Structure 1
Amino acid sequence: MRLLVARCQVDYAGRLTAHLPMATRVIMVKADGSVLVHSDGGSYKPLNWMSPPCTLKEGTAEDGRVEWTVQAGKTDDTLRILVDEVLHDSQHDLGVDPGLRKDGVEKHLQELLAEHTTTLGVGMTLVRREYMTAIGPVDLLCRDDAGASVAVEIKRRGEIDGVEQLTRYLELMNRDPQLRPVRGIFAAQEIKPQARTLAEDRGIQCVVVDYDALRGIDDPSLRLF
């Protein structure tokens, strides 16, 4: 990535026209070829930009100043940046980005509940994570304090589809003489009223999971309210 802090004028021409008068801005040239012009405000959104595929050529304007011409690859759109004064110019190799990993996704909830099975019920113990059935894996297979099998389906947001999914797992698992009887627990950070109604009608227990409490960040017993 190249970062240029400069006093510049920016003109965009093509499907629309736009003009940014001379001012100090940040120009970003990314490895994918995109060029973005940022101000010191406006949050994350650039003032103007050119998305890849595009080509960047550095030249000299008639008055001797540096001029960048960014040409779109598939249209006639052009971004011209007239540089009056360079305050900073640097290049950085950021490498391959691993991508965004969202905190609190179902995999993390599964890992935490596998470690803290008593959150699902007193005396609950883990038998296996990702217990495979003929139509896919159940998130957790547990045993309750009476030794009975419990299938646990985990969602961030509990909706009817999740209840239907657990229902299908239970139907198959209860055909296995080594497991049956198997009851179900539908665990989520939030459970929609319709999903709760359907689950309870089918004999499935609903458990609302406090993600922060599981991570040890927030202890409900220490709250004033």
Structure 2
Amino acid sequence: MVKGRSHCPVCGRTLSAAELLPCLSFLLQGGKCRGCGAKIPARDFWIEVLGGLCSCACAYAFGGETAQAALAFVVLGILTVVALMDIDTLEIYDRFPALLFVCGIAAHILIPSLGIKSRLIGCVIVSVPMLLLALIVPGGFGGGDIKLMFGAGFFLGAKLTVVAAFIGILLGGGFGALLLAQKKANRKSQFAFGPFLCIGIAIAMFFGETIADWYMGLL
């Protein structure tokens, strides 16, 4: 709506309704623009596949609660945009953590049983330690990562935010170690950490309670 109707970025031709069918249009057109023949990035196709899988996951997990399922789908959409943006630019725009915070307000209205206290603690329980670490070790975490966990913390609440951070740090640390082992990076290299936090947030949203209970059972 901001940039007008969907169009080919190469030839500028406006796309018809038949060319906007998720996944199907890409396959029918052979991954190319029908006008100029320019190749459509395969990532676009997989993003559409991911969107379909996310909608199915939300419908399955919150099948009886349409509003909760819709909110979860919106959050997954935000996380997808954040992850791709961070991969492309190593930046996370402030509007997206803010949108997650707004989703947290909506979640509080839909699920008041979690309590505002848990949500407020969730805002700081991970983001503040990340901020302190970033101040002590420059480059440890980016400002976007910190704000992301602040906004997600209000949406998830304290317990699930810790689960999300644990998963994100575990995945991100493993990826960084792999890059070092393959000599594709050194200790001063930077890579997008936001995608791993986004994965952690998504997993915590669906399985956080189960993971937390499992972990506590080990203690």
User: TM tier, shorter chain?
Assistant: under 0.3
**What TM-score comes out, normalization by structure 2 length?**
0.28
Higher helix share: 2
Which is strand-richer, 1 or 2? 1
Q: Which has the higher contact order (CA 8 A, sep 6+)?
A: 2
TM-score (normalizing by structure 1)? 0.27
